[in-house]
């Protein structure tokens, strides 16, 4: 059987051959298999894309058209145990813009055994979450008489996080300059070093204290252990892929973030491309729309072909175009024309808009083939 | 015969800047006076409306080319500026050059030995990232240069150049006049320019300081004559008038030896006028205004934005031979037809070439003239002259007519037209239809093609275009015909299918109906099925048998109906397994899952096996059959459908009361502080989530009760079950309970005042106060319920209003970025520059619109081979 299939491996995509392998009964005769393969090959040939087909525009249409049907502010709100994530059109725009700051950064952390069975997952999740001093404190107050700041710690919370008072003092000491930190009773007292501080400054530091980083992974503001299929995963709000992937107990081959730039910088462009594909597909599926992967794939490829992730904006993909007129017809036409004239750019007129502007045949689809006639 | 026609084609366009010399050379007039017309209203020589610059008045001839209005495209002129002025758009270039070249010798402030290495870095950057990368690299280098204070070439000291926006430069508090700036830029040698990405052949740096200003031709700024006979000049002419006037004043003052201050003031004023002539929206300058106070529209504004030259006139064009009116449905015309009113048919025309063989035929059209259908409007001579056909000229034209002429005859049945509805979001928004001339004044289309156009008949208008050349017609027919667009390239399934009544009709027909032979034949003939040979000799036919007549006799198909569960017993009982064997529908109900757009493979397989033409015919027949069935049965939904028996009403009431009690319980628990929070949530959030869950559960349960008690044969239920319109939830809201109104995924918020409406207590968390609508639409809503309903209604209206422009912009960006990506002959996907984007399209080279839902159906092929 494999011999017959092998013959076709050059002419047919692997995916199709694999499917045949899987679904053909084991006892099929060679001639039958051959017949099947011939039929498939014939059908495959009839389904191939035509040369010159403007697949780019078709992809743009296929993603742009359902965009009008998407609802604007859909938050994923499926019950109790789900994180709020931006979905729908805003998310698509976010992905294709390749924006630097996401409205809801998020990670899905897969775990290795035994954590993925749900054992000790709560404690583990707490460990990942970024804890600030504000969370292990009951109260902060300013003692105006001595011009000191008094911090009352929350022992309950500290027990959960396994932090000692000494550690807190140490942390405060290193991150706040100009204060001496002392323990007195159940309070931690901060005293300005040297001269007395102004009241204004004292209140400022009081606020600052709350946001001092204590433990966990920076940037992760919420954690939620969720059962996904057979195993437990941790869903987080906020991302920090680098740190998380380095942690013990994390299945680094499957854990991911929804921040494409981050993925690009840590896992490289191939991963970024795949993650564009995944994220767009996710949004479109949630909306119940039907868009073929090929279209999303092509968009993801155009965004990542240069080796960097480029957004579909005037600074990204569009600025890469070689044609001056094509760039000018998009946005900021004057800038493009002026820059072009300074460097004496030449527009070879080999894409679409330029030729529309000049009333010429566009070099796409039925405009590609040329006819040569010998002049008698 | 005509000789071979040779088309000129623009091969490439090179961008550059005009040098003063070229400006003078290409000018046909020097403008010296701000006056426009003399006393007789004749353009002044040397004025801005000089007829050497082109003509805009009928009767006059251009002095330069001798052509008349509309023939002469206009000619440039120029003015000599008394003092040079900086071109606003090149300010940044001038600044970088002043900063990074020597003030004495004009060389770049890079030591000789380093120039080559920098040049290499720049060239490399350009190779890797194109011209934009080069520009950003230059910027980096320039910032390092600013600190150099000694020229490495001539050792002279350098000073810091600062810019005072928009157009003045200072060095040590001392102004660098444009004259000085120009002098310095002149000294920069060509090879140093290259470092800055300046191509000295296209643009010498000193050209960014203007000494002469080109005057655009009058044809570019025509004046309009008002009703009163007064002339109103174009904004550009106004601006140019200002420039010429100040320029003359400056000349006079300089010649008269006026004090420096006055001259400088005038110079600045000239600078202002020239800057605003190019761009009237410069941040630091007050925009030049009309007397009425409205800002002038100068050159930048003409080019920029959606209404500017580029997007409005160049990338988008207007067209003749088009029509637009309201659309209305007509299921009796074919899917690929469009009904057009006679009025339109008589206005639009198709040119038909006169040959020996059709001369007599065409003469009849001319004889009927433009007022009698089907007639003709114009005759075109071989030299391109158009002649209107009127009652007077008719005979003469017929006499004259000979091969080589063409006749623009009225549209007739079977002509080709392109039909379009905006927004044209995908290629199925513009399709080619055959024309059917019909009475009345709307465009008629088959409701089955509403889906691709996204059209309905609540007042929608559509456009119609008539291709005028043989080439265009053929291309439209091959590429744009409705039948070629059956399968959407978005997901590889049929995008055209039955809708509404057609689905309901076929659902009822294939479910349980029986007809006598007469009735069956009547139905089929009404659906325009003429081949009744597959009808057996029976006297009674089931609906399935009637439906089967439409199918090809060798069609085999297996599929699922809407209610398919996968449970064999249930599916048998509900008849949801579709089996078609040899063109006979053996089991299964035809509903939306099989006939609707974008669902199911039945239509897809019909196209695949029998071709587009056959498929579209079958679909049309199925559609009409559905409608005919309903016509025969009568079908209408009514208020009665939402009536619930007493038990049902009580059960609903109980369910809701129970839910209310539960919620009260939860709130009480919360108030006592006994409620336990979910992990990662506060107690308040937990309470909200729990209440929401409970209330939604209750609503769903009422929905279930309504579903159980509703009459199964009521029209509303039939429509919901067949998938034609509505769903069980709609019925539940009408008959049971409307349910929770949600804003941003939450119950309606308390707001600043601590309550939603003044009828409630502050901090009230009960379902009623937070937007739960307990009543049904039929029962009627309480005032507060109605208000909450209006809140969510408004929210969704806003959502739509905000979404449309956003998604439109996203689409524009996507289309702009990807429009030139196409398949090359080596199967790779490339953009216009030739960069490979994919080696194989979609990794397997399959065209989605030729696939079955994005796949090659291996299973089907295996089955068919193994069976045979």
- Domains of chain B are 86-212 (no CATH), 234-247+260-318 (no CATH), 322-485 (2.40.40.20), 501-633 (1.10.274.100), 639-798 (1.10.132.30), 822-867 (no CATH)
Asked whether residue B239 carries a pLDDT value surpassing 70, the answer given is yes
Q: Treating both helix axes as pointing N-terminal to C-terminal, what angle do B91-100 and B112-145 enclose, rounded to 10 degrees? A: 120
**3-class state of residue A231 by DSSP:** strand
Report the pLDDT value the prediction gives residue B130, as an integer from 0 to 100. 64
CA distance A168 to A210: 12
Chain B residues touching A333 at Cβ < 8 A: 303-304, 308, 310
Q: Which whole-number Å values give the CA distances from A61 to A68, B423, B485, B810, in the listed order? A: 11, 12, 14, 11
Using an 8 Å CB-CB cutoff, list chain A residues near B132: 319-320
A306 CA to chain B: closest CA distance, Å? 8
Name chain B contacts of A306, Cβ cutoff 8 Å.
Answer: 129
Residue A138: which region, alpha, beta or left (left: phi > 0; alpha: psi -120 to 50)? Answer: alpha
Contacts of B279 in chain A (CB under 8 A): 334
The tokens of B824 are what? 């090359």
Chain B hits for A269, Cβ within 8 Å? none
Better pLDDT: B442 or B514: B442
- The yes-or-no verdict on residue B851 having pLDDT over 50 is yes
Looking at the complex, report in whole angstroms how far the Cα of residue A187 sits from the nearest Cα belonging to chain B: 27
Weakest mean pLDDT among A104-118, B336-350, B354-368, B808-822: A104-118
pLDDT for the residue B1? 42
Looking at residue B530, its pLDDT comes to 84
Average confidence (pLDDT) over B408-431 = 93
pTM over 0.90: no
Q: Which residue of B has its CA nearest to A35?
A: B865
- The rounded distance, in Å, linking the Cα atoms of B697 and B403 is 79
CA–CA–CA angle B515, B517, B520 (5° rounding): 60
Residues of chain A with pLDDT under 50: 76-81
Give alpha helix (H) positions in B340-419.
Answer: 342-347, 359-368, 394-400
What is the pLDDT averaged over residues B597-608? 81
Cα–Cα distance, B535 to A50 (Å, whole number): 42
B contacts of A368 (beta carbons < 8 Å): 822
No. of helices (H) and no. of strands (E), chain B: 25, 30
Cα dihedral B188/B191/B193/B195 (nearest 10): -130
Pick left, alpha or beta for residue A162 (phi over 0 → left; psi -120 to 50 → alpha; otherwise beta).
left
Are A294 and B799 within 8 A, CB to CB? no
Please spell the DSSP secondary structure of B619-662, one letter per residue. Answer: HHHHHHHHHHHHHHH-----GGGG---HHHHHHHHHHHHHHHHH
Cβ <8 Å between B858 and A341: no
The span from the CA of B422 to the CA of B455, in Å, is 9
**B330 C-beta neighbours (distance < 10 Å), count:** 18
Q: What is the pLDDT of residues B18-59, one digit of tens each?
A: 999 999 999 888 888 888 888 887 888 888 888 888 888 787
The C-alpha atoms of residue B361 and residue B614 are separated, in whole angstroms, by 33
> A36 and B11 in contact by Cβ < 8 A?
no
Q: Which two structure tokens, joined as six digits, stand for A121?
A: 């997952």
Kind plus residue range of the DSSP H or E element containing B192: helix B190-195
- Bridge partners, residue A233, by sequence: A110, A226
- Chain B residues close to A84, C-beta within 8 Å: 745
Which pLDDT does position A78 carry in this prediction?
42
* Per-residue pLDDT, B418: 95
Is the CB of B797 inside 8 Å of chain A's CB atoms?
A: no
Helix (H), strand (E), coil (C) string for B423-439: CCCCHHHEEEEEEEEEC
**CA distance to A109, A120, A230, A232, A248, per residue, from A251 (Å):** 7, 16, 15, 12, 8
Residues 6 or more apart whose CB falls under 8 angstroms from that of B846 comprise: A44, A47, A48, A49, A294, B854, B856
Measure in Å the smallest separation between the Cα of A23 and chain B Cα atoms: 7
The helix (H) or strand (E) run that includes residue A149 is strand A148-153
Instruction: Test B818 with A60 for CB contact under 8 angstroms.
Output: yes
Q: What is the mean pLDDT of residues B85-92?
A: 90
Distance from CA of B586 to the nearest CA of A (A): 27
* Per-residue burial over A129-151, b = 16 or more CB atoms within 10 Å of its CB, e = otherwise: bbbbbebbbeebebeeeeebbbb
User: What is the side-by-side strand order in the sheet with B577-581?
Assistant: B557-560, B577-581, B584-587
Residue A323, SS3 per DSSP: coil
Is any Cβ of chain B less than 8 angstroms from the Cβ of A334? yes
Closest Cβ opposite residue A344 in set B16, B130, B823: B16
User: With an 8 Å Cβ cutoff, is B813 touching chain A?
Assistant: yes
A343/B202 touch (CB, cutoff 8 Å), yes or no: yes
Give Cα A158 to chain centroid, integer Å: 34
Q: What is the DSSP letter of B455?
A: -
pLDDT in tens, B126-154: 776 666 677 777 777 777 766 667 777 78
Tokens 């469009």 correspond to B338
- B528-542 pLDDT, tens digit per residue, is 888 888 787 888 888
- Residues whose CB is less than 8 angstroms from the CB of residue B244 and which lie 6 or more positions away in sequence, other chains included: B31, B32, B33, B34, B48, B79
- pLDDT exceeds cutoff 60 at B849: yes
Contact A232, A117 (CB under 8 A): yes
d(CA B867, CA B580): 16
Give the span between the Cα atoms of A114 and B549, in whole angstroms: 63
Share the mean pLDDT of chain B.
Answer: 86
Residues of chain A with C-beta less than 8 angstroms from the C-beta of B825: 51
pLDDT at res. A274 = 93
Q: Which of B816, B857, B864 to mutate to test the interface with A (most CBs of A within 10 A)?
A: B816
CB B491 within 8 A of CB A291: yes
- In the block, tokens 């498929």 appear at B615
Respond yes or no on whether the N-terminal peptide bond of residue B528 is cis (omega within 30° of 0).
no
Q: Check if A368 contacts B (Cβ < 8 Å).
A: yes
Interchain pair B866, A19: CB under 8 A: no
Interface of B with A in 75-134 (CB under 8 A): 89-90, 93, 129-132
Q: What's residue B868's pLDDT?
A: 66
Alpha helices in B89-148 (DSSP H): 91-100, 112-145
Helices (H), B552-639: 568-574, 592-595, 602-633
* A151 sits in which H/E element: strand A148-153
Between the alpha carbon of residue B837 and those of residues A100, A311, B352, B820, the distances in Å are: 24, 15, 45, 11
**CB-CB under 8 Å, A56 with B819:** yes
Q: HSE (CB half, 13 Å, CA atoms) of B854?
A: 13
Assign 3-state DSSP to chain A and report helix, strand, coil percentages, each to 5.
45, 15, 40
Collect all residues of chain A within an 8 Å Cβ-Cβ radius of residue B828. none
The string of pLDDT tens digits covering residues B258-270 is 888 888 889 989 9
With beta carbons less than 8 A apart as the criterion, state whether A197 and A144 touch: no
Q: Reply yes or no on whether the pLDDT at B5 is more than 70.
A: no
- Per-residue pLDDT at B680: 63
Res B303: pLDDT: 87
Instruction: Please calculate the CA angle B110-B114-B117 and round it to the nearest 5 degrees.
Output: 125
A286 touches chain B (CB under 8 A): no
**Residues 6+ away with beta carbon under 8 Å from A14:** none
User: Nearest CA to B767 among B657, B652, B648?
Assistant: B657
Q: How far is CA A96 from CA A102, A119, A276, B817, in A?
A: 12, 38, 8, 11
Place of tokens 């015919």: B617
Q: What confidence tens digit (pLDDT) does each residue in B738-796 have? A: 888 888 777 888 888 888 888 888 888 888 888 889 888 988 899 999 999 899 889 88
The answer to whether residue B4 scores a pLDDT higher than 60 is: no
Tokens of A119: 């054992």
Q: Please give the Cα distance from A61 to B848 (Å, whole number).
A: 13
Paired tokens of A38: 């011939």
Report which of B225, B848, B162 is spatially closest to residue A55, judged by C-alpha positions. B848
- Whether chain A has a CB inside 8 Å of the CB on B623: the answer is no
- Positive or negative, the CA dihedral B764, B769, B775, B776 is negative
User: In Å, what is the CA distance from B721 to each residue of B165, B520, B711, B807?
Assistant: 70, 25, 12, 33
């Amino acid at each position: 059987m494999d011999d017959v299939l092998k013959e076709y491996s050059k002419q047919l995509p692997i995916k199709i051959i694999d499917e045949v392998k899987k679904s053909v009964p084991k006892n099929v005769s060679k001639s039958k298999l051959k017949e099947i393969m011939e039929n498939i090959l014939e059908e495959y040939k009839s389904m191939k894309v035509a040369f010159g087909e403007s697949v780019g525009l078709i992809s743009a249409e296929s993603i742009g058209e359902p965009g009008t049907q998407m609802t604007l502010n859909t938050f994923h709100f499926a019950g109790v145990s789900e994180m709020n994530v931006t979905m729908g059109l805003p998310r698509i725009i976010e992905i294709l813009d390749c924006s630097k700051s996401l409205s809801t950064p998020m990670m899905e952390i897969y775990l290795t055994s035994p954590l993925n069975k749900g054992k000790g997952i709560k404690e583990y999740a707490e460990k990942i979450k970024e804890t600030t001093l504000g969370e292990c404190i009951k109260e902060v107050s300013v003692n105006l008489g001595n011009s000191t700041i008094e911090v009352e710690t929350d022992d309950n919370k500290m027990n959960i996080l396994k932090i000692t008072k000494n550690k807190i003092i140490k942390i405060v000491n290193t991150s706040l300059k100009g204060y001496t930190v002392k323990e007195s009773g159940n309070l931690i007292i901060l005293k300005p070093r040297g001269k007395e501080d102004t009241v204004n400054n004292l209140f400022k530091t009081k606020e600052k204290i709350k946001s001092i980083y204590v433990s966990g992974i920076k940037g992760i503001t919420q954690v939620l252990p969720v059962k996904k299929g057979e195993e437990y995963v941790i869903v987080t709000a906020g991302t920090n892929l680098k740190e998380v992937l380095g942690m013990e107990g994390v299945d680094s081959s499957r854990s991911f973030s929804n921040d494409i730039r981050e993925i690009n910088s840590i896992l490289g462009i191939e991963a970024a491309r795949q993650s564009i594909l995944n994220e767009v597909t996710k949004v479109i599926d949630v909306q119940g729309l039907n868009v073929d992967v090929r279209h999303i794939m092509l968009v993801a490829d155009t965004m990542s072909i240069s080796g960097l992730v480029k957004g579909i904006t005037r600074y990204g993909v569009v600025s890469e175009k070689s044609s001056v007129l094509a760039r000018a017809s998009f946005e900021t036409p004057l800038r493009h024309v002026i820059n072009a004239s300074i460097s004496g750019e030449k527009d070879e007129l080999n894409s679409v808009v330029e030729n529309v502007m000049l009333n010429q045949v566009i070099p796409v689809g039925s405009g590609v083939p040329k006819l040569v006639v010998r002049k008698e | 015969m005509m000789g071979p026609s040779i088309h000129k084609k623009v091969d490439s366009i090179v961008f550059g800047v005009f040098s003063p010399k070229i400006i003078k050379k290409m000018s046909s007039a020097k403008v010296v006076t701000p006056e426009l017309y003399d006393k007789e209203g004749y353009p002044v020589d040397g004025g801005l409306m000089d007829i050497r610059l082109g003509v805009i008045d009928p009767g006059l001839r251009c002095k330069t080319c001798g052509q008349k209005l509309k023939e002469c495209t206009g000619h440039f002129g120029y003015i000599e500026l008394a003092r040079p002025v900086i071109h606003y758009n090149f300010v940044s270039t001038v600044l970088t050059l002043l900063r990074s070249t020597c003030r004495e010798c004009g060389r770049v402030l890079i030591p000789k030995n380093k120039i080559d290495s920098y040049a290499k870095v720049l060239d490399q950057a350009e190779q890797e990232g194109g011209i934009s990368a080069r520009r950003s690299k230059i910027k980096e280098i320039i910032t390092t240069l600013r600190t150099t204070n000694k020229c490495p070439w001539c050792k002279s000291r350098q000073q810091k150049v600062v810019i005072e926006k928009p157009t003045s430069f200072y060095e040590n508090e001392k102004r660098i006049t444009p004259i000085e700036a120009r002098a310095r830029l002149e000294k920069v040698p060509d090879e140093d320019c290259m470092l800055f990405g300046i191509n000295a052949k296209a643009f010498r740096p000193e050209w960014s300081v203007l000494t002469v200003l080109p005057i655009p031709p009058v044809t570019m700024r025509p004046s309009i004559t008002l009703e009163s006979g007064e002339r109103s000049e174009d904004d550009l002419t106004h601006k140019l008038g200002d420039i010429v006037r100040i320029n003359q004043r400056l000349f006079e003052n300089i010649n008269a030896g006026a004090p420096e201050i006055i001259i400088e003031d005038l110079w600045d004023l000239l600078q202002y006028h020239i800057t605003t002539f190019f761009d009237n929206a410069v941040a630091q300058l007050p925009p030049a205004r009309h007397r009425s106070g409205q800002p002038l529209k100068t050159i930048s504004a003409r080019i920029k934005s959606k209404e500017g030259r580029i997007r409005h006139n160049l990338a988008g064009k207007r067209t003749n031979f088009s029509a637009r009116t309201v659309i209305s449905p007509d299921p009796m015309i074919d899917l690929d037809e469009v009904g057009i009113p006679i009025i339109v048919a008589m206005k639009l025309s198709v040119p038909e070439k006169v040959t020996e063989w059709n001369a007599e035929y065409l003469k009849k059209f001319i004889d009927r003239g433009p007022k009698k259908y089907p007639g003709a409007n114009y005759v075109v001579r071989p030299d391109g002259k158009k002649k209107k056909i009127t009652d007077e000229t008719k005979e003469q034209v017929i006499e004259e007519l000979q091969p080589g002429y063409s006749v623009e005859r009225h549209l007739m049945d079977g002509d080709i037209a392109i039909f379009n509805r905006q927004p044209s979001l995908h290629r199925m928004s513009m399709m080619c239809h055959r024309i059917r001339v019909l009475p009345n004044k709307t465009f008629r289309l088959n409701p089955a093609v509403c889906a691709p156009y996204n059209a309905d008949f609540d007042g929608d208008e559509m456009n119609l275009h008539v291709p005028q050349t043989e080439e265009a017609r053929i291309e439209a027919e091959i590429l744009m015909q409705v039948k070629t667009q059956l399968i959407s390239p978005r997901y590889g399934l049929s995008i055209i299918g039955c809708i509404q009544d057609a689905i309901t009709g076929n659902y009822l027909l294939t479910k349980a109906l029986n007809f006598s032979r007469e009735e069956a034949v009547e139905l089929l003939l009404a659906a325009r099925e003429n081949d009744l040979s597959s009808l057996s000799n029976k006297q009674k036919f089931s609906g399935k048998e009637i439906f089967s007549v439409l199918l090809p006799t060798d069609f085999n198909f297996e599929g699922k109906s809407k209610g398919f569960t996968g449970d064999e017993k249930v599916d048998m009982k509900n008849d949801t397994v579709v089996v078609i064997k040899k063109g006979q529908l053996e089991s299964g109900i035809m509903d939306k899952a099989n006939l609707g757009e974008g669902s199911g493979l039945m239509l897809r397989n019909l196209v695949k096996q029998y071709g587009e033409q056959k498929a579209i015919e079958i679909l049309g027949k199925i559609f009409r059959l559905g409608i005919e069935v309903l016509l025969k049965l009568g079908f209408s939904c009514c208020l009665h459908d939402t009536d619930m028996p007493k038990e049902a009403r009580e059960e609903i009431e109980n369910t809701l009361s129970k839910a209310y009690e539960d919620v009260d319980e939860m709130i009480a628990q919360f108030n006592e502080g006994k409620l336990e929070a979910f992990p990662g949530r506060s107690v308040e959030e937990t309470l909200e989530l729990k209440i929401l869950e409970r209330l939604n559960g209750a609503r769903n349960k009422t929905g279930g009760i309504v579903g159980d008690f509703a009459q199964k044969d009521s029209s509303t239920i039939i429509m919901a079950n067949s998938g034609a319109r509505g769903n069980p939830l709609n019925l539940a809201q009408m008959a049971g309970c409307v349910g929770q109104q949600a804003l941003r995924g939450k119950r309606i918020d308390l707001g600043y005042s601590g309550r939603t409406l003044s009828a409630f207590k502050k901090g009230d968390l009960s379902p009623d106060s937070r937007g739960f609508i307990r009543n049904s639409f039929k029962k009627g809503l309480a005032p507060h319920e109605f208000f909450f309903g209006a809140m969510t209604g408004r929210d969704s209206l806003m959502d739509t209003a905000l979404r449309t422009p956003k998604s439109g912009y996203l689409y524009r960006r996507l289309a702009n970025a990807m429009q030139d990506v196409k398949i090359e002959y080596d199967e790779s996907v490339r953009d216009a520059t030739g960069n490979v984007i994919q080696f194989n399209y979609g990794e397997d080279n399959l065209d989605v619109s030729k696939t079955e839902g994005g796949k090659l159906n291996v299973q089907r092929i295996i089955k068919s081979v193994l069976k045979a």
